Structure 1
Amino acid sequence: MPRNYRLPMYHRQSPAIRCLNFLCAVLLTIVFIAGIIFFVLWLSLRPHRPKFALADFAIPNINRQTGAANLPVKFTVNEHNPNQKIGIYFDAVYGSVYYDNNELIASGPVAYPFYQPPKGDLPVQGELTASGPTPTDPSWQRFASEVGAGSVEMRLVLNSTVRFKVKLWDTREHHMKVDCGFKLGGDGTLLKKNSPCDVYF
């Protein structure tokens, strides 16, 4: 005998369940669109840290035999704000010059507080006074030898506090450290100009 096949019965959803499904779909769509808008706004308003490059550095008469104490230390660091719609407030900038990574050569204030508009460029010029090394310092022989050889590895460190101006509001303060490693020639001038510096927040 032929088998009796029955078609499955179609159960219609109640109006309440259909309304609930529709509301969930609308809510998920709104959340998805809001997420995309938020992500785009975050990308456009996310501050990018400023860029620095060591344009020039000089310690005249660094090859004198009486030491580097009291010699003028002059430098220029080019600062660039890469943000298209975000300005940057800089507090006072302080500079330090090191030999052999940790031996302090000179330090002091470099620049007063200033504001950098979007896509702006500014040369930060500093002039300090060297405190050493002197012939009585343990590092003098090595320092004088490297000067005589025509290449002395040094570091320029700039410290400041910055705030980003995003539209009508300002972000919280960030401590900024700019670290520029470079080589000084035997005549006291920079061997390679416009070298990029490392920036830390």
Structure 2
Amino acid sequence: MTSNKDCGHHHHHKRFRPLYAGILTFLLIVLTGSLSVWAILRPSKPKFILQDATVYAFNVSYPNYITSNFQVTVSSRNPDDRVGIYYDRLDIYATYRDQQITLQTSTPTSYQGHKEITVWSPFICGNSVPVSPYNSAALSQDQGAGLVMLMIKIDGRVRFKVGTFISAKYNLHVRCPAYIQFGSRTNGIMVGDNVVKYQLATSCHVSL
């Protein structure tokens, strides 16, 4: 036997079904529209350039330690005229022969509008960082030859903005080769005691 109370409760839910269906349909339309806009616009990857590197310290000590201190200038250009970029996190560091030789330095969060350029100039350094004997020997040889190739790496998280739609977070990986000629001052500018600034203007590889 069904009570009048149960019948009223059932009628209450039945009356609100069209409202629930309408809300669900609206959300589905908004989601489909946002995904369609995203698929049509398909944002371009930002373009990174390693503009320069200022070397304050870079040496190998016994037995297999590297001490380094750099200031690097990195610029990013948003090539898209319809999509903005949120840089939620960027960690910048240096490697030598795939081995990390500095600590990571984080940049402040920022937003990059359409066709805009953003520039960062962080310091990255490492004090007596242990490296493999092979890399230590290779670095000594490279310094003797006057040319050391480092890799400035940037790992981060970005989001894209299309109108009012903001995407999920994407992993960003940037790799910038830096060729430092320690044996010659002609390619560097002395900016202090044993401090040399190298103009590089090197294009970086960007992956998402």
Q: TM-score, normalised by structure 1?
A: 0.69
Fraction of identical pairs, as percent: 23
**Who is 2:181 aligned against?**
185
What letter is aligned with 1:52? Answer: F
CA-to-aligned-CA distance 1:118-163 (integer Å, 9 cap, x gap): 1100112111212456699553232122112111111111011111
What letter is aligned with 2:136? Answer: W
| Equivalent of residue 93 in structure 1, options 54, 65, 90 | 90
Pairwise CA distance, 1:179: 0.8
- Could you say if the C-alpha distance between residues 108 and 198 of structure 1 is closer, same or farther in structure 2, counting changes exceeding 3 Å? same
Q: Which has the higher strand share?
A: 2
CA-to-aligned-CA distance 1:25-72 (integer Å, 9 cap, x gap): xxxxxxxxxxxxxxxx77862211100011012322425767642x32
Pairwise CA distance, 1:94: 0.5
Q: Which has the higher helix share?
A: 2
What letter is aligned with 1:91? Answer: D
Distance in 1 between residues matched to 2:138 and 2:156, nearest whole Å: 32
Q: What secondary structure, in the 3-state scheme, does the structure 2 residue paired with 1:75 have?
A: strand
Q: TM-score, normalised by structure 2?
A: 0.67
Contact 2:57 2:69 in 1 (8 A): no
Structure 2, unpaired ranges of 5+: 1-36, 184-194
Count residues with an aligned counterpart.
160
Structure 1, unpaired ranges of 5+: 1-40
**Residue correspondence of structure 1 range 1-201 to structure 2 within 5 A:** 45-62=41-58, 68-69=66-67, 71-100=68-97, 102-132=98-128, 137-186=133-182, 193-201=200-208
The ranges of structure 1 where at least 4 consecutive aligned residues each deviate by more than 3 angstroms after the TM superposition are 41-44, 63-68, 131-138, 187-192
Supply the RMSD in Å over aligned alpha carbons.
2.8
Pairwise CA distance, 1:85: 1.9
